[in-house]
């Protein structure tokens, strides 16, 4: 199907204008991180007053701010995201496999509970969650509220349903003969899972990890209520919120902080663009 040249040009112009509109906010953040407050307020759209020196001084001010503590927040976010993703992949795979390979009433019930829990909005469990964590923490004697392990625990709980849902769909498609052959060769069930099934799950694990990763890295509400704004181990989104609250309308600081908070995600996107976009779609249509 060939298109007329005039139409191609018009479509191209529309596409470019849309891209400019959609990317414009990112551009604004970038240029204004190179300016001081006075220059930003005077003319937020031009590069007048932008200098590399100013950029470095903005970055320094933001990174060393005691409400933000960028590297610490970045470390907390990275730690929580990576450990949660790892645990969700392993535990999710294990649970999905058991649910999928046992055709019994109990496995169907567990599956249905997982699926129906996906519609529960976070607000419903938000308040009792703090209370439950406090009581469990008190009973066990380990801090659940205000600690990173507690937060990771919560992410495993909240991410479990979707992880199991997507992985079960995939495991159903793996021929059962594969497992029977392994069993005949003397492979134990746990060996069958870790040596045969889990490696086969890899592409779906990537999808699940992308979906969960985007959610966990950007999530604000859960860490903000579990950790609190003044927690020294707060994650990046919570740190941004705490930081902005302490700098009313200091746009040089706020925009530089926004730039720093966005940078990791954008860098990862530039590296793994295809995988991320495919993963987001696959997760949605399953």
Partner 1 sequence: MDENTTGRKILSLVLLILGLVLLAAALWMDITKTYLVVDLGVKVALRGLFLVLGALLILAGLYYIPTVMHHRTIINIIFLFPLLFTFAVTVIVPMFVGVFYSFTDWNGVSYTRMVGFENYAAMFKEAAFIWSLLLTVLFVVINMLLVNLVAFLLALLCTTKLKGVGFFRAAYFLPNLIGGIVLGYIWQFIFSNVLTTILNSPHSALASTNTAFIAIIVVYVWQYAGYIMLIYINGLATVPKDVLEAAQIDGANDMTTLFKIKIPMIAATFTICTFLTLTSAFKQFDVNLALTNGVGTVRNFMGQRLSNGTQMIALNIYNTAFARDMYGYAQAKAILFFIILATVSLIQVRISNKREVEM
Among positions 216-255, residues that touch partner 1 (CB under 8 A) are 217-221, 225, 237, 240-241, 244, 251, 254-255
267 binds partner 1, rule: CB under 8 A: no
First vs last Cα of the chain: how many Å apart?
A: 32
213 binds partner 1, rule: CB under 8 A: no
Decide if 31 contacts 47 (C-beta within 8 A).
Answer: yes
Name which of 60 and 102 has its Cβ closer to partner 1.
Answer: 102
Name which of 189 and 203 has its Cβ closer to partner 1.
Answer: 189
Q: Which stretch binds partner 1 (CB under 8 A): 26-34, 48-56, 65-73, 199-207?
A: 26-34
Among positions 116-135, residues that touch partner 1 (CB under 8 A) are 117, 119-133
14 binds partner 1, rule: CB under 8 A: yes
Instruction: Give the nearest distance from C-beta 26 to partner 1 in angstroms.
Output: 7
Q: What is the dihedral of CA 40, 46, 49, 54, to 10 degrees?
A: 70
Residues ≥6 apart with Cβ < 8 Å to 273: none
Name which of 57 and 228 has its Cβ closer to partner 1.
Answer: 228
Q: Which stretch binds partner 1 (CB under 8 A): 53-61, 63-71, 149-157, 196-204?
A: 149-157
Site string for partner 1, 92-121 (x = CB under 8 A): x-xx-xxx--x-------x--xx--x-xxx
13 binds partner 1, rule: CB under 8 A: no
43 binds partner 1, rule: CB under 8 A: yes
Decide if 204 contacts 170 (C-beta within 8 A).
Answer: yes
Q: Please pick, from the candidates 28, 59, 115, 187, the single residue that binds partner 1 as defined by CB under 8 A.
A: 28
Name which of 52 and 139 has its Cβ closer to partner 1.
Answer: 139
Decide if 174 contacts 193 (C-beta within 8 A).
Answer: no
Name which of 80 and 95 has its Cβ closer to partner 1.
Answer: 95
Name which of 152 and 202 has its Cβ closer to partner 1.
Answer: 152
Give the span between the Cα atoms of 157 and 113, in whole angstroms: 13
């Amino acid at each position: 199907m060939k298109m007329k040249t005039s139409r191609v040009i018009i479509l191209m112009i529309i596409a470019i204008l849309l891209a400019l509109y959609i990317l414009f906010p990112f551009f604004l953040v970038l240029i204004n991180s190179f300016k001081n407050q006075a220059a930003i307020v005077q003319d937020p759209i031009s590069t007048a007053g932008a200098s590399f020196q100013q950029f470095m001084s903005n970055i320094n001010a933001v990174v060393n701010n005691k409400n933000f503590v960028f590297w610490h927040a970045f470390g907390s976010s990275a730690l929580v995201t990576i450990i949660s993703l790892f645990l969700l992949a392993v535990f999710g795979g294990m649970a999905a496999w058991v649910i999928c390979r046992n055709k019994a009433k109990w496995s169907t019930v567990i599956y249905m509970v997982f699926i129906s829990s996906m519609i529960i909005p976070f607000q419903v469990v938000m308040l009792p969650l703090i209370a439950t964590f406090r009581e469990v923490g008190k009973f066990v004697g380990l801090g659940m509220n205000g600690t990173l392990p507690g937060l990771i625990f919560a992410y495993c709980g909240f991410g479990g349903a979707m992880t199991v849902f997507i992985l079960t769909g995939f495991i159903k498609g793996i021929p059962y003969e594969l497992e029977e052959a392994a069993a005949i060769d003397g492979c134990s069930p746990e060996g069958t899972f870790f040596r045969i099934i889990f490696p086969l799950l890899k592409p779906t694990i990537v999808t699940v990890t992308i979906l969960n990763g985007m959610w966990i890295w950007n999530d604000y509400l859960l860490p903000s209520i579990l950790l609190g704004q003044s927690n020294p181990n707060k994650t990046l989104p919570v740190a941004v919120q705490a930081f902005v609250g302490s700098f009313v309308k200091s746009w040089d600081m706020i925009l530089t902080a926004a730039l720093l908070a966005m940078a990791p995600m954008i860098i990862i996107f530039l590296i793994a663009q295809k995988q991320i976009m495919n993963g987001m779609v696959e997760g949605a249509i399953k």
